[in-house]
Amino acid sequence: MRVLVAMSGGVDSSVATALLRDQGHEVTGVTMKLWGGDSDTGCCSVAEVDDARRVAQQLGIDHHVFNFGDEFDAKVVQPYVAAHARGDTPNPCVECNRHIKFDKLFLRAQVLGFDAVATGHHARVVTTEEGRRIGRGADTTKDQSYVLYMLDQDKLGRLLLPVGDLRKEEVRALAGRLALRTASKPDSQDVCFITKRRGRASFLGERIELHRGRLVDGAGAQVGSVDTIELVTVGQRKGLGLGGLGEPRFAVEVDVPSRTVTIGSRDELSCQGIELTELCWAGAAYEGPVMAQCSAHGSSRPGRLVGSTLTWDTAHPRVAPGQSVVFYQGDTVLGGGLAVRNLAGLRVR
């Protein structure tokens, strides 16, 4: 089988490539050049491209660099900026998977005659009675099934995830035995186009106007302020300057047009449901009981999905608009969507 492997320059994709080569596949590595600006981490930096190229040399396979910079800017960076401007909390890594890794790259692989695309994600492609699904990775502490919820049957039929059945320590041990240069390289968990030196505020400030905001309680009384309301996230506690108010206070609602952040207690942060948009499914659309996960490394909680509304079985902390909500049945992904609005006061079904 001819396999195109997305090599990010990290240990997981390096080992994925080695495993496929050793299984006898005709393997070609590719690193995607996505961001043309400053980058000090993630798959967009010069160092990552160089590490991927050198691992490919070690393994004796061809390696290419595909430039998807224009698409990345249009589908990931600009929506990221626009989301912050309206007070949402975007997930650029999910959108990169949706539009770049599992769209542009898949199309390029098809044009070039590859039979499959592989990545180093810690997840599995499993077959159920309803068809293929993304399953959680064997290493639950590194599981990345959450960020792959947008994959449909066609993509799942052409996707290989070679490290999904391995624990992280096994991946590193294998990389060590093969003497791969990425064997001890630390994991990257940052947004690739936001540098550590400058941060989000500087990046956004060059692209949109940033504003101070008022902090008000549930009765509308001002209790503080924030320097940049566009950086406040629903559920945020740290950085609000509210340490002297006794019990913890959280950002309950962010209203950028009025420059207002409403804060509240842990109980006031709770909600009974979420309105969703951009729902997508591995197979047929689903309604009914689900386990729902609202962050990449969070835990799933039970609820019921009816149309585009998810109702929690018990009160749940509000989800920041713009975040992905992913639905599981057991350890497999049904699909997911984006949070639009938290719903308070719903009767629990």
The predicted model gives 119-127 an average pLDDT of 97
Active site residue 271: no
Question: Is pLDDT at 146 greater than 60 in this prediction?
Answer: yes
Catalogue all structural domains in the chain, each as residue range(s) with its CATH number: 2-120+162-177 (3.40.50.620), 211-264 (2.30.30.280), 270-343 (2.40.30.10)
Q: pLDDT tens digit string along 84-109? A: 999 999 999 999 999 999 999 999 99
Give SS3 for 308.
Answer: coil
- The pair of three-digit structure tokens given for residue 275, joined into one six-digit string: 């309105």
Strand order in the sheet with 213-216: 222-226, 213-216, 260-264, 250-255
**Predicted confidence (pLDDT) at residue 349 exceeds the cutoff of 50:** no
- What phi, psi does 250 have (nearest 5°)? -125, 155
Instruction: With 0.85 as the threshold, say if the pTM is over it.
Output: yes
Please give the pLDDT value at position 344: 76
Residue 153 CB partners (closer than 8 Å, separation 6+) = 131, 132, 282, 283
- Select from 267, 292, 333 the least CA-distant residue to 130: 333
Task: Determine whether 294 is an active site residue.
Answer: no
Q: Which of 43, 44, 93, 192 is catalytic?
A: 192
Range 63-72 average pLDDT: 95
Between CA 144 and CA 139 the distance in angstroms is 9
Q: How many C-beta atoms lie closer than 10 Å to residue 205's C-beta?
A: 14
pLDDT digits (tens, 9 = 90+) for 241-279: 887 667 899 999 999 999 999 999 999 999 999 999 999
Backbone angles phi, psi at 213, to 5 degrees: -135, 155
- Catalytic residue, chosen from 43, 44, 96, 271, is 96
Helix count and strand count (H, E) for the chain = 10, 17
Q: Is pLDDT above 60 for 345?
A: no
Handedness of CA 37, 41, 42, 47 (dihedral sign): positive
